[in-house]
Structure 1
């Protein structure tokens, strides 16, 4: 039901944006008191940064620990309102897909072998919506200079948002058939169990902090292209359902149904190269770093409000002269 609701919201947002493209600019200008209004679409590759997967050596953050084969596509839409050329306020809604997989890690016999032997994986749809403030530093430095109209405009931005995720892990039977199971209801690390009071059930909808920067290129007065890095800081270590240590698998029978207990027992510990299950308390993840994800986006924007060349000229010819 939640996925259907998010899909409806996303389609509704896209419909509003596309409809606005064909709306007469004077309507949007009147509605937003002459501010520059821009709507658009964006898409590009997204990368997960968490406990699962990674590259050679110790697990690290950001680009060094990426698994390129797990690159996923993000797509979304945005609307921004700018009271002037150096400041903007953005609202955006987007969808992407995140994944991590230990077995694809390339090893050279050093610390990454632990993660590869752990053999866990996950995948998750991710829906997000956020608001952000955009700042164009060069336009700010040249504010008041009417002749300064560069085609390329660097910018930075930051804000706050919400995102929804729901991780799944896989099990493969003896015939090679793979099935996927939602992980949060299985409490794979004892979240919510009385024996682990410090491990609370994690919420599937949480706050994130989007930050980044980019370059905007003005094709015309009303159409532009942007290349953008969008990074999301989160406050959860469970996007991939891995954070702390292995638990006593007998507890699954205490708290879960028989069917779920069987799945949780198998999916919580898929370690390879050992004769028995991993001992309770042994490291499963690294709780010191929250999960994160980032995207490289291509954005196409269309200005529908005030602030185009004709409006600017009209204002210039109607304001009072600087001196008499």
Structure 2
């Protein structure tokens, strides 16, 4: 379903661009990534990994554009680093590689056409839709395990590996020279899943696990306390429906402009 949404939006974007095409823009991004979820409920700006990506953008005029992008990142979380004792005792941890494709619309607050408009910079906002593939992992006794197939909350089947994501954010772009741009933006993604960190609901009854590794990773409090606190049916996650992840990106881009687009007025 997410892939179909992206294809439809890209098709519509292409149709619009044929009607009022102005310029293309290519960019590469590097920055930081973080997340808000069951293992980080209170710090919306905690960086936990690196993010890289690239985009292709269609600028319809100096204010509106549509962008197709790809981002790769890794986010992490560990209860052992929390300042709250209840989370340290829970003792869960994860690391999740993320691969996201998205289509977003951008709006510049100032007219911005590199090397043509009088404005050398503009703040902007964006929003759109995308799809993210995620694979939470954890290290246990020196071995890295994929958590999804272990169904650590006693699920009847593994959760999906992909989810719809809704990107939105703010940024600022600056015309460095000619058609070269520097861009900084902070964008949050509301993922339509609560398993980016493999934690969502309640502790499962240990008897449902046939795999001893799955049983051990379902409740890791014993590694810290010497006894397990995850009684069957008690709260394991924060019980919110969705996790959120974010990117802080620094981008360099180049805009391909045809003089015909902007001077035939």
Give the alignment's TM-score, normalised by structure 1: 0.70
User: Deviation of residue 305 (structure 1)?
Assistant: 3.6
User: Deviation of residue 43 (structure 1)?
Assistant: 0.8
Structure 2 residue 138 is matched with structure 1 residue 166: no
User: Deviation of residue 283 (structure 1)?
Assistant: 1.3
User: Deviation of residue 312 (structure 1)?
Assistant: 6.1
Residues 219 and 228 in structure 2, CA contact (< 8 A), matched pair in contact too: no
Partner of 1:87: 64
Counterpart CA distance in 2 for 1:287 and 1:218 is: 45
CA RMSD of aligned residues (A): 2.2
1 or 2, which has the higher helix percentage? 1
User: Deviation of residue 249 (structure 1)?
Assistant: 0.8
Give the secondary-structure state (helix, strand or coil) at the position aligned to 1:304: strand
Structure 1: where are the runs of 5+ without partners? Answer: 1-29, 141-146, 173-177, 193-199, 254-260, 317-324
- Alpha carbons of structure 1 residues 120 and 313: separation in structure 2 relative to 1, 3 Å: closer
Partner of 1:136: 108
Counterpart CA distance in 2 for 1:75 and 1:104 is: 25
Counterpart CA distance in 2 for 1:276 and 1:41 is: 46
Give the secondary-structure state (helix, strand or coil) at the position aligned to 1:281: coil
Structure 2 residue 165 is matched with structure 1 residue 215: no
Q: Deviations over 1:105-149 (max 9, x none)?
A: 2x3xxxx21111111111121111000010112339xxxxxx962
Counterpart CA distance in 2 for 1:205 and 1:148 is: 41
User: Deviation of residue 61 (structure 1)?
Assistant: 5.7
Q: How does 1:1-324 map to 2 (within 5 A)?
A: 34-52=21-39, 54=40, 59-60=41-42, 62-63=44-45, 66=46, 68=47, 71-105=48-82, 107=83, 112-139=84-111, 149-172=118-141, 178-192=142-156, 201-253=158-210, 261-271=211-221, 272-276=224-228, 278-306=230-258, 310-311=259-260, 314-316=263-265
Give the secondary-structure state (helix, strand or coil) at the position aligned to 2:225: coil
Q: Deviations over 1:134-166 (max 9, x none)?
A: 0112339xxxxxx96211111100000001001
Counterpart CA distance in 1 for 2:71 and 2:149 is: 25
Residues 150 and 214 in structure 2, CA contact (< 8 A), matched pair in contact too: yes
Give the alignment's TM-score, normalised by structure 2: 0.85
1 or 2, which has the higher strand percentage? 2
- Alpha carbons of structure 1 residues 95 and 148: separation in structure 2 relative to 1, 3 Å: closer
Give the secondary-structure state (helix, strand or coil) at the position aligned to 1:216: strand
Task: Tell me which stretches of 4 or more aligned residues in structure 1 moved more than 3 Å.
Answer: 30-34, 310-314
Residues 31 and 51 in structure 2, CA contact (< 8 A), matched pair in contact too: yes
- Alpha carbons of structure 1 residues 32 and 221: separation in structure 2 relative to 1, 3 Å: farther
Q: Deviations over 1:31-68 (max 9, x none)?
A: 8975211111011011121112x4xxxx33623xx3x5
Give the secondary-structure state (helix, strand or coil) at the position aligned to 1:250: helix
Residues 99 and 122 in structure 1, CA contact (< 8 A), matched pair in contact too: yes
User: Deviation of residue 315 (structure 1)?
Assistant: 2.1
